[in-house]
Amino acid sequence: MSSFVQEITIGEIQEGLASSQITARSLVAAYLERIESMDWNNFGLRSVIETNPDVFTIAHELDREYRQNGPRGVLHGVPILVKDNIDTGDRMLTTAGSLALADSPAPKDAFLVERLRAAGVVILGKTNMSEWANFRSTHSISGWSARGGQCCNPYVLNRNPGGSSSGSGVAVASSLCVVSVGTETDGSIISPAAVNGIVGLKPTVGLISRSGVIPIAHSQDTAGPMGRTVRDVAILLTVLAGVASNDPATKKNIHSLDFTKFLDPEGLSGARLGVARKFFGSNAEVDRLINQNISIMHDYGAEIVDPADLPSHGRFDDSEAEVLSYEFKSDLNEYLKGRGDSVGVHSLAEVISFNEEWKDEEMPYFEQERMVEAQKKGPLTERAYLDALAKSRRLSRDKGIDAVVKKHHVDAIVAPTRGPAFLTDLVNGDPKSISCARPAAVAGYPHITVPAGYVRGLPVGISFFGPAWSEPTLLKIAYAFEQATMARRSPRFLPITS
């Protein structure tokens, strides 16, 4: 029964709804069957942390509305999964994977969830994630949370799913939903999208409201769409984008655009792309694959500037770490205050104490060094924070992405997103690896990754990133690349690399 949703697109769902061949209710049933069979039982993917107990009631009402009034829009009746750090004002929990927040649901929907519901989306459930969005320990394991366990990569099960939007990436790749919502501070959408063979877009900070999302740092945090195709990502982005009165960053955005209008199969023709060579070199097979794809883009009419490296490459890691520590303490304390007495912890200090009290459950593999360090920080008026923030913005923007765009007159910067998925290691945690996520993350600029091919059966992504509010250009280029290569293949759920 559930096989009909495998690799289905939003467009195909709407065709099925319009012809009465499928309903929102039949979609929900099919996805729940796949989740139980593939995620919780046969393959133990552990990508879905919880399903919505009211999902059939919601789907039934949306089907009734569809019959009587027609669709609200292209997402009417579409089941979507959202990351477990995004508030839903229903009977589901919002915990960031931590037992410390598992007392009761959030009091209301996040702003982006309000937009999804208004568009007729069925919130199918919550996805597992790297606990506290990977901001608990310097030796954390991506895809692990105390509440959800260890999430697995569907291409090769002993490989890591990336983080922190681990479950969001795995669920989309495995057709447990058609699209999902992840969040990113630095690499948390881009990394799991790449290693799970899907499309992920981290938008400009402020395009999507962070209101009701458990934070790390307001200068870099954003939610973003994850899907199997660029078109589905553009559709979801159109609904997610919006201005929230309690998120000042959204006042600058381009929220009223229909991002699907920028999808052009000829979008590579005349595009000028700069190659960030300093993100190559970690894996010879990945380098060969990305170079082949750059040649394909040239064949389709793109002008290639090679190299086009950031002059500040690698020079703002320390300042970013300082900013995140300061903002994590301030922003999390503010968020927990908003949750009120519905949870048992009301500050970062209380979260740290909770983890110590429940050490066997919360810290069986790694500690909470990042949290402890953040707790030592003072207010956001301190000179150390202000200097670090200024340095990060200057080096990632003026002397980073903006400098490359201005010098080389490029529309976007291209690079391998990261290497293939590494082995999940419960002893040593995640290994260090090269990723091109940091510049756009620190700058607060947009970044999209698209499937580029495979290395020994493991997905590899290619990245396009650029200046603030350049989502239309990035989507145009990414879509044309996708249509030229059609690189994505469904996962095979292999136990080990063949």
Give the tens place of pLDDT for each residue, 449-476.
999 999 999 999 999 999 999 999 999 9
CA–CA separation, 43 and 154 (whole Å): 8
Give the tens place of pLDDT for each residue, 107-137.
999 999 999 999 999 999 999 999 999 999 9
Residues 178 and 78: beta-carbon distance below 8 Å: yes
Q: Considering the chain, what percentage of its residues have pLDDT values greater than 70?
A: 100
Residues 420 and 458: beta-carbon distance below 8 Å: yes
* pLDDT, position 253: 81
- 108: annotated active-site residue: no
3-state helix, strand, coil in the chain (%, to 5): 40, 15, 45
Indicate whether 337 pLDDT > 70.
yes
- 435: annotated active-site residue: no
Which residue type, as a one-letter code, is found at position 344?
G
Question: Measured in whole angstroms, how far is the alpha carbon of residue 243 from the centre of its chain?
Answer: 20
Cβ count near 118 (within 10 Å): 13
DSSP 77-121: T-EEEEETTB--SSSS---TT-GGG-SS--SS--HHHHHHHHTT-
Q: Work out the average pLDDT over 234-260.
A: 93
Q: Write down the catalytic residue from 98, 142, 188, 435.
A: 188
Q: Work out the average pLDDT over 386-397.
A: 98
What number of H helices and E strands is found in the chain?
Answer: 16, 13
Residues 459 and 196: beta-carbon distance below 8 Å: yes
Tell me which residue of 108, 110, 15, 23 sits closest to 63, measured CA to CA: 23
Give the tens place of pLDDT for each residue, 408-451.
999 999 999 999 999 999 999 999 989 999 999 999 999 999 99
Question: Tokens representing 217?
Answer: 């740092």
Using 50, 70 and 90 to split pLDDT, how confident is the model at 342?
Answer: confident
- Phi first, then psi, for residue 273 (nearest 5°) are -120, 130
- Phi first, then psi, for residue 32 (nearest 5°) are -65, -35
Tell me which residue of 81, 57, 67 sits closest to 198, measured CA to CA: 81
Indicate whether 7 pLDDT > 70.
yes
CA–CA separation, 10 and 178 (whole Å): 7
Lookup result for tokens 């909770």: 354
- 188: annotated active-site residue: yes
Q: Write down the catalytic residue from 2, 26, 83, 211.
A: 83
Tell me which residue of 295, 285, 213, 301 sits closest to 249, measured CA to CA: 213
Q: Write down the catalytic residue from 2, 164, 174, 209.
A: 164
* pLDDT, position 81: 99
* pLDDT, position 498: 67
Domains and CATH numbers, the chain: 2-485 (3.90.1300.10)
Q: Work out the average pLDDT over 213-240.
A: 98
Using 50, 70 and 90 to split pLDDT, how confident is the model at 252?
Answer: confident
CA–CA separation, 240 and 258 (whole Å): 11
Show the DSSP H helices in 276-347 as ranges: 284-299, 317-339
Indicate whether 1 pLDDT > 80.
no
Which residue type, as a one-letter code, is found at position 14?
Q
Quick one: three-class SS letters along 433-450? Answer: CCECCHHHHHHCCCEEEE
Q: Which residues pair with 416 in a beta bridge?
A: 462
**Predicted model pTM:** 0.98
Q: Considering the chain, what percentage of its residues have pLDDT values greater than 90?
A: 96
Give the tens place of pLDDT for each residue, 75-108.
999 999 999 999 999 999 999 999 999 999 999 9
